[in-house]
Amino acid sequence: MNFYSATKCYNSGMFDNMLLKVLANYEKIMEIMLPTLREERQATYCPFLPVCPETGKILQISAIKVNKDAGTITFQNHNTGKIFETEVTKGRCKLQWKPDFAMRWAALEVDYEIYGKDHMINQHIYSKICQVLDGIPPIQFFYEFFLDDTGAKISKSKGNSITVEQWLTYAPMESMLLFIYQSPAKAKRLHFNVIPKNVDDYLAFIKKYHQTDDQVARLANPVYHIHLGKVPNIDTYNLNFSLLLNLASVCNPENKSVLWGFINKYAPDASAISCPYLDQLIEFAIRYYNDYVKVQKKYLIPSIQQRTILEQIDLTLTDLYEADAETIQSAIYKIGINNGYDGNLRSYFQELYQILLGQLDGPRLGSFIKLFGI
């Protein structure tokens, strides 16, 4: 995969041969474009955009004369009234965006194009112009728009989403690639709350990939494509991002050493050197907690009944010091049932999360308590 700067391609002459081909097929391209334009736009449309020889700015003006033999177009500047002739090559002209889209396909021999849903209406235009230029239109795939946390369209002016840079401040690149990879033709909500889940899902897919030798199953796993077939074996001692976030929520850490102190009680062999990916996740978790979770915490003051439940949990845990996470989880689960939450365990755990963590959602308490310690 190579990156090409459109500006450099125009200015370096990389697109020159194709631009001359656009000029040679000027009428055919106009026949494709004009029916797609409003009547007033048809009167002034030209697929070429000249660069003003005086200001260097790109001008959107109509052509007076096309000289295919000389490789030039004559324009009149509507602002100054001046008439000038310019070459379509050497960076002195660019193309309107629809012909430009098709020209790049032909010039760069693009064989696969992914674009946003807003381009779907123009796909036949791109393909027709590409064919006029003797190119082969690529296989095309569209992706849906991203939405904000309320399901509304993302607005640049409102800033109701997150940027790539923001995501990479709080989570590894692979988690963002997974978010993009999954269900591309489905509108997805893009906001801070989706970051932890995508990190956890990525870790789960990594684990699942290495648990099987079935090549079909591996090919169907997103991480195969995210890592181009070279999937790393990542060991986090079954600690995921959400669990680290909740540990940070209780510890309120200033640095990684605080969390590593708890992790080493749970996994004595783990270290920043032996588990660099886990160390990176810890850093991300602290950053995410301090910048996003901490400011939203709202603790619930326990009622008399809730205090009784907390006392029962505390008493029960004193006998479960050596127990595994599932045993601890089961014990907490039973306390909820015995206190009238049999038909509403979701509320039971939400109340515990609000009291202990200051948030509505949280980890499996068995795993969390095992990590945090009794």
- Residue predicted with more confidence, 216 or 117: 216
**pLDDT value, residue 297:** 86
For 40-77, what is each residue's pLDDT tens digit? Answer: 999 999 999 999 888 888 988 889 999 999 999 999 88
Q: Encode pLDDT of 70-103 as tens digits.
A: 999 999 887 788 899 999 999 999 999 999 999 9
The structure tokens listed for 100 are 């430009």
Reply yes or no on whether the pLDDT at 288 is more than 70: yes
The greatest distance separating any two alpha carbons of the chain, rounded to the nearest whole angstrom, comes to 92
- Angle between helical axes of 276-288 and 194-210 (0-180°, round to 10): 160
Q: How far are the Cα atoms of 107, 216, 338 from residue 302, in angstroms, in the given order?
A: 68, 51, 18
Average pLDDT, the chain: 92
- Cβ-count burial of 143 within 10 angstroms (0-12 exposed, 13-18 middle, 19+ buried)? middle
**Pairwise CA distance, residues 76 & 66, whole Å:** 13
What is residue 334's predicted lDDT score, i.e. its pLDDT?
95
Whether 37 has a pLDDT exceeding 80, the answer reads yes
Once rounded to an integer, what is the mean pLDDT over residues 245-253? Answer: 86
pLDDT(217) > 90: yes
Q: Which of 113, 105, 110 is nearest to 140 (CA)?
A: 113
User: Band of the pLDDT at 1, cuts 50, 70, 90?
Assistant: low
Residue 223 contacts residue 198 (beta carbons within 8 Å): no
The amino acid present at 43, given as its one-letter code, is: A
Q: What is the 3-state secondary structure (H, E, C) of 68-125?
A: CCCCEEEEECCCCCCEEEEECCCCCEEECHHHHHHHHHHHHCCCEEEEEHHHHHHHHH
Percent of the chain with pLDDT over 70: 99
Higher pLDDT, 237 or 250: 237
Task: Say which amino acid occupies 352.
Answer: L
The structural domains of the chain, with segments of one domain joined by +, span: 1-143, 164-227, 241-296, 304-372
Which pLDDT tens digit goes with each residue over 142-201? 888 888 888 888 876 677 788 999 999 999 999 999 999 998 888 889 999 999 999 999
Residues 146-161: tens digit of each pLDDT: 888 888 888 766 777 8
Radius of gyration from C-alpha coordinates of the chain: 30
| pTM for this prediction | 0.69
Averaged pLDDT for residues 27-32: 98
Residue 255's Cβ-count burial label (10 Å; 0-12, 13-18, 19+) is: exposed
Q: Which residues are paired to 141 by β-bridges?
A: 114
Q: Quick one: pLDDT at residue 33?
A: 98
> Using the 8-state DSSP alphabet, how is residue 302 labeled?
P
Q: Is residue 142 within 8 Å of 185, Cβ to Cβ?
A: yes
